[in-house]
Amino acid sequence: MKNFLATCAAVFFLLTSHVNAADAEYLLNNAELYPTFSGEDYCDDIVQVTLEQITYDGMSTYEKILACYNYLVDTCSYGDNVLRLDFPEANGTARAYGMLVGHVGACDDYSCAFAALARAIGLNCYTVYGQTARASGGMTGHIWCVIAIDGVEYVFDPQIDDNIGAGEYYRFCVTYDETPGSYENGEVRWGYFEPFF
């Protein structure tokens, strides 16, 4: 059922997204690619296996990124990423590994997994820490992803879309201006996934 809902959500996203799907497709397909890996074999290996399962060579960059986003929304759930505890440091690679293997995690884990996948494809994707709006009002600590393209930061937040998107993708390739009041005080989350340059 979750597969069906994720597919419906992706189609609905393409039709009604805050960012015109054609714009997101154009942006991602025209971004310069620099495939980058973490250098940690345990993480890089699961990233490669995951990409081989959900993408293929004939896909566009946009299709690959949407497949990664759909994969996290479709197969993961919010909870405690216990697999990251197998590593001495709770760094970004441990969080990405734990999420891609165990499919359970918090915002850190969703974001690290998405960043690891997007970076392997070649996009300048990194994690950002700050505040996000609560559904009940006020703000709370949160980690999300940004892909920088031509000096503009585009938000990708699979954890929010998985947990409160209700079948829509509100945080796929949107600028901060397109999500007013949703994010505050965002800073690069050092020790997780950092900008290429």
Q: What is the pLDDT of residues 1-59, one digit of tens each?
A: 444 333 333 433 333 344 456 699 999 999 999 999 999 999 999 999 999 999 999 99
Q: How many CA atoms lie within 13 A of 20 on its CB side?
A: 4
Domains of the chain: 2-188 (3.10.620)
* Category of 27 on φ-ψ map: left (φ > 0), alpha (ψ -120 to 50) or beta: alpha
Q: What is the pLDDT of residues 131-187, one digit of tens each?
A: 999 888 899 999 999 999 999 999 999 999 998 766 788 899 999 999 999 999 999
Query: Would you say the pTM of this structure is higher than 0.75?
Result: yes
The span from the CA of 140 to the CA of 134, in Å, is 6
How many degrees, rounded to 5, is the angle at CA 19 between CA 63 and CA 74?
45
For CA atoms 106, 111, 117, 120, give the dihedral sign: negative
Residue 12: CB atoms within 10 Å: 14
